[in-house]
Amino acid sequence: MITVDGLCVDRGGVRVLDGVSLSVAEGEFVALVGPNGAGKSTLLGAVGGHLPPASGSVTVDGDPVGSLSARSLARRIATVPQETNFGFEFSVRDIVEMGRHPYRSRFGGDGDPEGAELLDRALARTETAQFADRSVASLSGGEKQRVLLARALTQAAPALLLDEPTASLDINHQVRTLDLVAGLDETVVAAIHDLDLAARYCDRVVLLAEGEVYAVGTPREVFTADRLATVFGVEVTVGENPATGTVTVTPNGGSTRGG
Amino acid sequence: MQYRGETTSAVVGLLALLLVVVVVSAGIGPVEIGPMTVTKVFANALAVPVGVDLTRATLTAPWRVVEWYAPFSYDVQSLYSTIVLQIRLPRIAAGASVGFALAAAGTVMQGLFRNPMADPSIIGVSSGASVGAVAAIVVPAALPFGLGIRGAAFIGALVASVVVYGIATEGGRTPVATLLLAGVAVQTFLGSVTSYLILRSGDSIEEVTYWLMGHLDASRIEEALITGSIGLVLVAVLYLYAEDLNALLLGETDARSVGVEVEWTKRVLLAASSLITGAAVAISGVIGFVGLIVPHALRLVVGPDHRILLPTSALAGASFLVVADTIARAGAAELPVGIVTAAVGAPFFLYLLRKREVSEL
């Protein structure tokens, strides 16, 4: 459904992504992992149509994302940004309702009969319904992140891009959020820092390093002690979570890099 | 769809307020006229076209064959009719039109720039209008096509905003931060041109100062109606983009991801706001603070949703400027209305600043 081919992206004159190729199948949950500056957010930005490729291509269902109008792209891909500036006093419901924007006609009319139902469902699934009428400015970082997820769900796009969806969440909401995301029928591409969570929830992980794809595969295939030590520059122990049976990665503490 | 009911009732309420403000204002002046009398004068002036015979309508001048029917004919002293309709109404209509336009443009600019300091003049519209108007006063011979002061101000406003937009646009994208800085730079440059023209103004300095301070007393009713019509049409256009503007408040990347065509939307919003502001400034000169404080005040009352904020701000702006102008002309010595709006506006802005309302935006 999403195909990235030989993608190079420059930011501020620096090549941040260099020849990335990746194919995401329908319904798959793919995690982008890698050290800071590896290009995870840039890759999400390019797939979401926000960053134009210097070369290479990004296509959704065969159409280059750059060729689609903002409206039709928003009907195919919904984005949960890492953070958003909620300066103005919109209510949570107002923000989540913005997910219906790509389905609304500029000239009004109630041309969006499913909208209200999707909105209520998204509020319930993300457990944001209880503060739906509060101002977003009053919410904590984690609550805001769930509101943005609710908006993306309301957008009802077949693909979802998430940039660090669990970064500001407590462990309870980390698990609940990823349970929800992993249970979706939608195709999901998420940048995730926490390797244990990535290993537990994702079908495949893409390990990025210095703007290139270093390894792709199931978490068990990709997360080897040698590989992670090379990419992250720290010795790690790869083990298994006795409760979930999934791969765990624990840093040992000694950096393999000088200085 | 809750906002629709709220918007309708708020708009009806503000229209009623505007009507009351207009009636009261038309009664205030050297000759005091009671609100009942003013109402009767307005009622008498109502005329509806009747018996429009389409078969007699010709292409050249269909309106000539329209007959007008005045449904009311109260007994009112003709002196009062003249004062209300000929002397006070044109000025009131100008105030309402200009206030409507500036408050609407200010609302859009604050949203677009996500900046509480934004006002309609932010992209150089007012400084462009000033150069045009002052040039028309000081060196009328230099202007082509016999442009009057109003025409020169309007053209100056549009040229300035197009130049600012052009400078800030690269490869089809116009970052608002660049737009803001380009606006400041062009304003500064145009300010120096205006200063130079003032130095060269000689005998016309009084007229120049009068124009620059902002005024509503020189407008003919037709001019006020032109500005008012431009304002109504363009606010209707802006209203179609109210949801896009809401999404833009969360940032351009975010807006794009929910399907807003960001660059096109910015172009529409900037063009419509510049035209509205130009049409207002052309008849009133530079009236500060209306476009800054009215949207702020309304945002406190109705919230940030532009589907309700835009129409209510515009209507409140109309009432606000009529009130300010009534104060300006009611005193012993008549003041330019720009002085009144700034004198009221600056303390109000400081109040907002202290309330931290500004830093939260």
In degrees, rounded to 5, the angle at the alpha carbon of residue B157 between the alpha carbons of residues B124 and B341 is 70
Q: What is the pLDDT of residues A22-66, one digit of tens each?
A: 999 999 999 999 999 899 999 999 999 999 999 999 999 999 999
Check CB contact under 8 Å for A50 and B249.
Answer: no
* A79 inside 8 A of chain B by CB: yes
Give residue limits of the domains in chain B. 34-76, 89-356
- Domain membership flag for residue A137: yes
- Domain membership flag for residue A12: yes
CATH number, domain containing residue A202? 3.40.50.300
- Domain membership flag for residue A207: yes
- Domain membership flag for residue A244: no
pLDDT band at B147 (very low <50, low <70, confident <90, very high): confident
Domain with A94 in it: 2-225
Residue B253 is nearest to which of A81, A99, A102, comparing CB atoms?
A81
Tokens of A107: 């000239």
Q: What is the mean pLDDT of residues B235-264?
A: 93
How much is the ipTM here? Answer: 0.88
* B246 inside 8 A of chain A by CB: yes
- Domain membership flag for residue A243: no
Q: What is the pLDDT of residues A149-165, one digit of tens each?
A: 999 999 999 999 999 98
Superfamily holding B89-356: ABC transporter involved in vitamin B12 uptake, BtuC (1.10.3470.10)
- Domain membership flag for residue A155: yes
Q: What is the mean pLDDT of residues B140-157?
A: 80
* Closest to B344 (Cα-Cα) out of B321, B361, B360: B321
- Domain membership flag for residue A254: no
Q: What is the pLDDT of residues B78-127, one digit of tens each?
A: 899 999 999 999 999 999 999 999 999 999 999 999 887 788 888 899 99
Judging contacts by C-beta atoms under 8 Å, the chain A residues touching residue B241 are 106
Check CB contact under 8 Å for B250 and A84.
Answer: yes
Average pLDDT, chain B: 87
Judging contacts by C-beta atoms under 8 Å, the chain A residues touching residue B114 are 85, 87
Question: Based on the structure, what is the number of domains in chain A?
Answer: 1
Task: Give the global pTM.
Answer: 0.89
Which residues make Cβ contacts (< 8 Å) with residue B268, sequence separation at least 6?
B237, B241
In the block, residue with structure tokens 């050297």: B30
